[in-house]
Structure 1
Amino acid sequence: MTTKTRTAITIESTVQAPVAKVWDYWNKPEHITHWAFASDDWHAPKAENDLRTGGKFSTTMAAKDGSFSFEFGGEYTDVKEHKLIEYTMGDGRKVSVLFTTVEDATKVVETFEAEDENPVEMQREGWQTILNNFKKYTESH
């Protein structure tokens, strides 16, 4: 059996908010539904999150016109409050999210394994757009 080596993609953003707020807005379903989508014609109508090692999460991402939706989810493999979240997505790809305090802000660095269907740059742009939505939402609320 051969193990496939996946391309790791890293994105980041510095959010002008303390780490406790950034952590809550990243993880609480009532906030996730306000930022977990890549364009204004999409939304996240439902989110569930059991934030603990072994816990599962799921976010519904859907086109606002009802034409398409999908579940983005997985299982947590490591959770260190205000510092680290690692999880495995439903398709087996791994994701790591680091939270680091930088002066009065929080740097969020997310690394994920690329899938095989779409170009790496397209995946990077999509995930970065969602992270930018997170930053904008967190800083404005």
Structure 2
Amino acid sequence: MRDYYTPGEIAERFDLTLDTLRYYEKAGLLRRVDRSPNGHRRYRADDVELLNMIRCLRDTDMPIARLRDFAELVREGDHTIPSRLDVLQSHQRRLDERIAEMRRCQAAIQHKIDYYLGVLAERTPEKVKETS
């Protein structure tokens, strides 16, 4: 892994806009970004690792405030690992519940699709013409 990455490289790698990347910085999800000798923003390898987890958590609907807390724990060092584990396990439980609910909804939708397909299969060509 390289030492530094440009904002463009990070945006492309994580499929983010540069505005979203700046928002993550301003929201406190990333530490203060380094600057190259010519003044351009650049990200460290550990920023990339943290951003990978932030994107995963954000994509699974973790609120920004909770993400900020998690990022701060990461920046504070290894002594916060038990707290980080609590955050991740709590999020995992919420995610498991959400996935279960989505599966229930998916089953209800599939049931309705099957019902409508059955209704259509029972129609004769004459009935189809009458309803057209």
TM-score, structure 1 normalization: 0.22
- Larger proportion of strand: 1
- Larger proportion of helix: 2
**Structure number with higher relative contact order (C-alpha < 8 Å, ≥ 6 residues apart):** 1
Q: Higher Cα Rg: structure 1 or 2?
A: 2
